[in-house]
Structure 1
Amino acid sequence: MTSATSLFSPVEADLCVLTENLKNLIGARHPILYAAAEHLFGAKGKRVRPAIVFLVARATMPDQGITERHRRLAEITEMIHTASLVHDDVVDESDVRRGIPTVHSIFGSRVAVLAGDFLFAQSSWYLANLDNLQVVKLLSEVIKDFAEGEIQQGLNCFSTVTIEAYLSKSYYKTASLMANSAKAASVLSEVSDAQTQHMYHYGRHLGLAFQIVDDILDFTGSTEGLGKPAGSDLKSGNLTAPVLYALEEKPYLEALIEREFAKEDDLEQALALVKDSRGIERSRELAATHARMAVEHLSELPISEPRQALVKLADYVLSRLY
């Protein structure tokens, strides 16, 4: 299986600079925020989102170096993503992410909420200073989409929804940032409108595949590998693709969900029903469809190492399942 580290080798130097810059941008003059920034940006995350920005920038400008505005866009993208994770962990009361303690479990919920707010505000400030109204609109929409996704998830807790509604929520929570930041990177490269749309759809389909795979791993992964307890989405009432597909085959699963796993062994029964259905298999097929569609939108790019890395990234997303 290709590792994310080797996959991002064309932009490895860019990502190293990004990590140091983020610590300095966030932590200046705020000792607690610096400690939180060290904790957040020192974590061994894969940096998928800023890597997409760098790869799109280099793929759309194959004969030139990327600009300082591209670099700042990548930093803004990671700030927005991290802010959303900090807030998610407070809402979900998660003590661990990527196998390490969350900000709110170390510093308390009050500091975590303020740190998330600060990251969103800081990203908005740097975004405005890019002096590109189209990019400002694209990334501002992402912040709005995060809130929309959280609200949808909260309102539909323990409620069965359609696959279309699930994909809509997945777009808001995950794919919007990948789609709009990929498009923004190409806008800064000053390529054609048609090419910026291709980059948007690449990020959109890749993001959907990424989220579907994450939701499958909640059933098939280990607690160690996930960095959180397996089955935690279902336990909290977040019904994802494997469950929604399983409900079509296993009617009793709906009764367990409706009573919110109130009886002993309800959750174990529900997990067994999902695994005994075609829910996981059909979810894999759905993820593969979106990964394939993402790659189709790269066909107009000139052949280059960064473009090849974007193609391999879609394969890597699916390979996490095996």
Structure 2
Amino acid sequence: MTDLTSASGAEAFGLLLDDADLGAAVTDGMARVEQGLRESVGHVDNYIATTAGHLLGAGGKRFRPLLTLLASQVGPQAGKVSDDVVKAAVVVELTHLASLYHDDVMDEALMRRGSQSANARWGNTVAILTGDLLFARASQVVSDLGADAVRVQAMTFETLCSGQIRETVGPAEGQDPVEHYLAVLAEKTGVLIATAGRFGAWFSGCDEATTEVMRQYGERIGVAFQLADDLIDLSSQAEQSGKTPGTDLREGVATLPVLFARESDDPADARLRELLDGDLTDDVRHAEALELLRRHPAMERARAQTREWAEAARQALEPLPDSPVKAALATLADGVVERTA
């Protein structure tokens, strides 16, 4: 049995593979991806190399490249990981890393992956430019994969940005806030994870139908992944998640538990609703709101919604024949929901 977690950095998912060929292919592939990432963040200027490698060096789950490699094992090249698949995995992780630099600036985050955020360490300008540099590096790598891959990457990035804008602006007048929020997650998180699955299948020779299965699976598990992240942000301690708890709450981002709590008409929830609708940049008000929300039924309701998205991801796999990798992908959906960091 291969413990994929030690090789991939995806400890939170507890993914164990009892198929030797699958385990060896993905383990070897992840090592090659890590090498590709290290090369991609390098720079002749030591200062730039330090800022570009900051979040990579801080670790991370490497969920997106892990999915790319697993998806590559669905098709005719099972047991092997081509150089193109490795490059595709590097592209999706570089894109993710770049977005984190920008996210931390927008959130005024102080911590990321248990370390000081880039914006806190070097300032917003350097953090933004470093994110831009990593986006440029992702573009360089994807150009080796052909014009169609460049087009998919560009569309992915456009959708990601659209989702971030829609989150910032909020729902339109009369639009259901929960519906808006889930649509935002599909754009700002689901789309890149969908591309991770799509690239893995595509560059391992899968047919169009199988590639679409992996795209749909990626999008659905991507929404589940972000919903779980939102719950972790509210429920975990800083030493667990590596981030400051309640960051979204402080910044006024209404995640699913907040939206559900606001729907309550229970008089006992009046104080929580008052806090959620007010200024939570004050440490005392923020701490009170976080404590009340952690005990509120909205948390379990949001967990149930998260599990529904994970189940939808598993259902997307139904057209695939039974195989060790199909079982691993189904297990991964559970791991995404049940993780605590």
- What is the TM-score when the length of structure 2 is the normalising length? 0.85
1:144 aligns with 2:152: no
Q: Which letter does structure 2 place at the counterpart of 1:291?
A: A
User: 1:14-58 deviations in whole A, cap 9, x for unaligned?
Assistant: 112211221212214332232234322222211110010011012
Residue of 249, 266, 275 corresponding to 1:256: 275
Q: Secondary structure at the match of 2:73?
A: helix
Are the aligned partners of 1:138 and 1:181 in contact in 2 as well (CA < 8 Å)? no
Deviation readout 1:279-303 (Å, 9 max, x if unpaired): 1111111011110111112233344
- Aligned 8 A contact 1:62 1:304 in 2: no
Mapping for residues 79-228 of structure 1, pairs under 5 Å: 79-133=94-148, 135-156=149-170, 162-228=177-243
- C-alpha separation in 2, matches of 1:321 and 1:19: 24
> In structure 1, the residue corresponding to 2:133 is in which secondary structure?
helix
RMSD: 2.6
Distance change in 2, residues 1:183/1:63 (3 Å): closer
Distance 1:8 1:123 in 2: 30
- Of the candidates 285, 304, 310, which is equivalent to residue 329 of structure 2? 310
Separation in structure 2 between the aligned mates of residue 261 and residue 29 of structure 1, nearest angstrom: 43
Q: Aligned partners of 1:218, 1:105: CA distance in 2, in Å?
A: 19
Bigger shift: residues 15-24 or 201-210? 15-24
Say if 1:262 and 1:287 are closer, same or farther in 2 by CA, change over 3 A: closer
Q: Give how far 1:262 is off.
A: 7.3
Q: After TM superposition, give the deviation of residue 275 of structure 1 in Å.
A: 3.4
What is the CA–CA distance in structure 2 between the aligned matches of 1:263 and 1:79, rounded to whole Å?
Answer: 35
Counterpart selection for 2:92 from 77, 84, 108 = 77
Distance in 2 of aligned mates of 1:28 and 1:306 = 37
Alignment CA distance shift 1:297-1:264 (3 Å): closer
Aligned 8 A contact 1:60 1:301 in 2:
no
Q: Report the Cα offset of residue 269 of structure 1.
A: 4.2
CA distance in 1, matches of 2:78, 2:240: 40
1:215-257 deviations in Å (ceiling 9; x for gaps): 1112221121122222221121011111111111156344333
Match of 1:270 among 286, 289, 304: 289
Are the aligned partners of 1:70 and 1:188 in contact in 2 as well (CA < 8 Å)? yes
Q: Alignment identity in percent?
A: 31
Of stretches 77-86 and 108-117 in structure 1, the one that deviates more from structure 2 is 108-117
SS in 2 for 1:59: coil
Change (3 A) 1:259 1:55: same
The whole-number CA distance in structure 2 between the counterparts of 1:84 and 1:207 is 15
Q: Is the 8 A contact 2:111 2:244 kept in 1?
A: no
Equivalences, count: 319
Match of 1:7 in 2: 15
Q: CA deviation at 1:148?
A: 1.6
Report if aligned partners of 2:311, 2:333 keep a CA contact under 8 Å in 1. Answer: yes
Would you say 1:65 and 2:88 are equivalent positions?
Answer: no
Once residues 160 and 119 of structure 2 are traced to their aligned partners in structure 1, the CA distance between those partners, rounded to angstroms, is 19
**Pairwise CA distance, 1:263:** 7.3
Distance 1:154 1:228 in 2: 21
Counterparts of 2:41 and 2:238, CA distance in 1: 31
- Deviating beyond 4 angstroms after TM superposition, the runs of 4 or more aligned structure 1 residues are 262-265
Q: Does the 8 Å CA contact 2:15/2:331 hold for their aligned counterparts?
A: yes
Residues 308, 33 of structure 1: alpha-carbon distance in 2 compared, 3 angstrom cutoff: farther
How far apart are residue 206 of structure 1 and its match?
0.5
2:258 to 243, 251, 258: 243
Of the candidates 300, 303, 308, which is equivalent to residue 289 of structure 1? 308
Q: Is the 1:152–1:169 Cα contact (8 Å) retained in structure 2?
A: yes
CA distance 1:306–1:132, shift in 2 (3 Å): farther
Name the TM-score, length of structure 1 as normaliser: 0.89
- Structure 1 residue runs of 5 or longer lacking an equivalent are none
Which stretch of the first structure deviates more once superposed, 15-24 or 70-79? 15-24
TM-superposed deviation, 1:122: 1.6
List gaps (5 residues or longer) in structure 2. Answer: 18-22
Instruction: State the shift of 1:87 in Å.
Output: 0.9
